[in-house]
Amino acid sequence: MAKGPSLRTSPRPTLTAGALGAAVLLVQHFAPHSSGSHLVERLSRRTFLNCRLPNDGDRIEPNTVYLPPPDRHLLVKDGHMLVTKGPRENHYRPAADALFRSAAAHYGTAVIGVVLTGMLHDGTAGLELIKRAGGLAVVQDPREAEYPSMPESALSNVPVDYVLPIAEMGELLTRLVQIPSSGNSNVPENIKLEAAIAERVVGTTDEVLRLGKPSTMTCPDCGGALFELRHGKLLRYRCHTGHGFTANALPKSTQHSLEETLWVALRMMEERKNLLTSMASRGTGLFSVQQEERIEEIKQHINRLREFLLNGVNGSTAVTIPEEEQS
């Protein structure tokens, strides 16, 4: 049985000792303009493995931890890494889903996906792809996770192989990497296609139709049509430009887009009110009275919209007022 290159992926660091005999590709959610070098330094103090930020096209080396630069996806192909600025997935770039999918497509049974503490749902869809490609799924016990939503999401949607405390993961992964694998010989074609689309950054509508069926919704990031992809319990969406969302993340994404639209509407109404106020101050007689009536009408709309935004778009969650709107 042929054995492909060993590849191990994890959204958070877990290994603290020794030569592993495999590469660790790690996804950490950064602010777009932050620096990844400080995390590389922190990791280097906690492990004997070499830790670094990869460049596009670098070869994957064993006993090395790779962390993508902020605002870049990390993908893998033919023993090398692709560092790209492709579409965000669940509003993340880098995204664990993008890395997991790429690893599943190209390395199949040689992949172990690990989901640790984190907020929201990144990693769930990618872990499901790793399992369908024959890889292993490891999840931190959410009862000990500082932010349990990522582990809980994975456990709710993916048939996970191991659930354990983070302190026990180093020993487990060191043992699992010794198990021979058959590589990517039996990876489903739809996983390979979706990974290929991500590598090219954009796909055609015909290609996305091969992955799922059209939905009635549009992408909150680009406005394109969303396609529905369902595998087992997991429902997710993607557009042909590459934006991806789990079913749980999509409502939050559309709410964010709605909130942005309402802030723009509020700004435009404020500008309209200021213009009419200026015109009324220079007018006389009936013209001035008409302008004052229009100003009062706009003020009512502004107050309603401002109250709606302050109470939250969904009626329960407060939102932050941009500085330019706080006057």
* pLDDT for 143: 95
* pLDDT for 282: 74
Whole-prediction pTM: 0.76
Instruction: Indicate if 136 and 153 belong to the same structural domain.
Output: yes
Instruction: Indicate if 166 and 239 belong to the same structural domain.
Output: no
* pLDDT for 2: 25
Q: Is residue 54 in a domain? A: yes
If you search the block for the tokens 């991500």, which residue do you land on? 198
Return d(Cα 68, Cα 29) in angstroms, integer.
10
Return d(Cα 230, Cα 190) in angstroms, integer.
12
* pLDDT for 39: 81
Q: Is residue 185 in a domain? A: no
Instruction: Indicate if 143 and 40 belong to the same structural domain.
Output: yes
Return d(Cα 228, Cα 216) in angstroms, integer.
9
Which residue type occupies 173?
L
Return d(Cα 189, Cα 31) in angstroms, integer.
34
Return d(Cα 278, Cα 260) in angstroms, integer.
27
* pLDDT for 221: 83
* pLDDT for 37: 82
Instruction: Indicate if 166 and 58 belong to the same structural domain.
Output: yes
Return d(Cα 269, Cα 189) in angstroms, integer.
51
Q: Is residue 125 in a domain? A: yes
User: How many CB atoms are located within 10 Å of the residue 226 CB?
Assistant: 23
CA 186, 189, 191, 195 torsion-angle sign: positive
Please, which residues have CB within 8 angstroms of residue 210's CB and are 6 or more apart in sequence?
Answer: 190, 193
Q: Name residues of the chain where pLDDT drops below 50.
A: 1-6, 12-14, 17, 313-327
**Terminal Cα-to-Cα distance of the chain (whole angstroms):** 69
* pLDDT for 98: 95
* pLDDT for 302: 83
Instruction: Indicate if 256 and 240 belong to the same structural domain.
Output: no
Q: Is residue 192 in a domain? A: no
Q: For the segment 129-172, what is each residue's pLDDT rounded down to a tens digit?
A: 999 999 999 999 999 999 999 999 999 999 999 999 999 998 99
* pLDDT for 43: 82
* pLDDT for 114: 96
Q: Is residue 76 in a domain? A: yes
* pLDDT for 325: 37
* pLDDT for 19: 66
* pLDDT for 66: 95
Return d(Cα 66, Cα 97) in angstroms, integer.
16
Q: Is residue 226 in a domain? A: yes
Question: ∠ at Cα 91 (88, 92), nearest 5°?
Answer: 70
Assess contact for 198 and 242: CB atoms under 8 A. Answer: yes
Instruction: Indicate if 155 and 39 belong to the same structural domain.
Output: yes
Task: Give the range of the structural domain holding residue 216, as residue numbers without chain letter.
Answer: 201-249
Instruction: Indicate if 18 and 137 belong to the same structural domain.
Output: yes
Return d(Cα 119, Cα 218) in angstroms, integer.
24
Q: Is 273 helix (H, G, I), strand (E, B) or coil?
A: helix
Q: Is 163 helix (H, G, I), strand (E, B) or coil?
A: strand
Assess contact for 13 and 44: CB atoms under 8 A. Answer: no
Helices (H), 201-322: 205-211, 249-282, 285-310
Return d(Cα 122, Cα 235) in angstroms, integer.
13
Instruction: Give the chain's domain count.
Output: 3
Instruction: Indicate if 219 and 320 belong to the same structural domain.
Output: no
CA 122, 185, 86, 8 torsion-angle sign: positive
* pLDDT for 256: 66
Q: Is residue 318 in a domain? A: yes
* pLDDT for 321: 33
Instruction: Indicate if 237 and 315 belong to the same structural domain.
Output: no
Radius of gyration (Cα) for the chain, nearest Å? 24
Q: Is residue 2 in a domain? A: no
